[in-house]
């Protein structure tokens, strides 16, 4: 009986549909290049999308610095990442560049 109830709970079609919908919504949202990103979100996208290992390493260091230093170091780290992504091209790169620039100008 324990095995049957476990199998039934593992295969819940409604839960699977909801998870699939959430993944689809997340993909749609992440591909909206026209929206402005938050600073941490923008830097995280650099770590996941930029092909340059040097730039990714700089972005990872920036996230660690923000984690340790909080809001006090955010502008400095945003500037460091912005200057490091100069050679990165594409829609995501333009979105990150625009978002970090707007943040630094505010």
Closest CA to 42 of 105, 106, 102: 102
Coil, strand, or helix at residue 3?
A: helix
CB 47 within 8 A of CB 63: yes
Half-sphere exposure of 100 (CA within 13 A, CB side): 28
Each domain of the chain, given as residue ranges in start order, spans 1-31, 39-105
Following CA atoms 66, 86, 58, 101 in sequence, which dihedral angle do they give, to the nearest 10 degrees? Answer: 0
Scanning the structure block, which residue is given the tokens 């990872």?
60
Each residue of 19-72: pLDDT tens digit? Answer: 444 444 445 556 889 999 999 999 999 999 999 999 999 999 999 999 999 999
| Per-residue pLDDT at 70 | 95
pTM: 0.72
């Amino acid at each position: 009986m324990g095995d049957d109830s476990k199998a039934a709970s593992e295969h819940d079609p409604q839960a699977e549909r909801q998870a699939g919908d959430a993944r689809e919504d997340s993909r749609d949202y992440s591909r909206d290049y026209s929206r402005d990103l938050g600073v941490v979100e923008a830097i995280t996208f650099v770590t996941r999308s930029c092909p340059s290992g040097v730039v990714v390493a700089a972005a990872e260091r920036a996230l660690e610095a923000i984690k340790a230093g909080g809001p006090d170091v955010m502008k400095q780290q945003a500037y460091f990442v912005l200057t490091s992504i100069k050679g990165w091209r594409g829609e995501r790169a333009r979105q990150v560049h625009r978002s970090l620039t707007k943040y630094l100008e505010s």
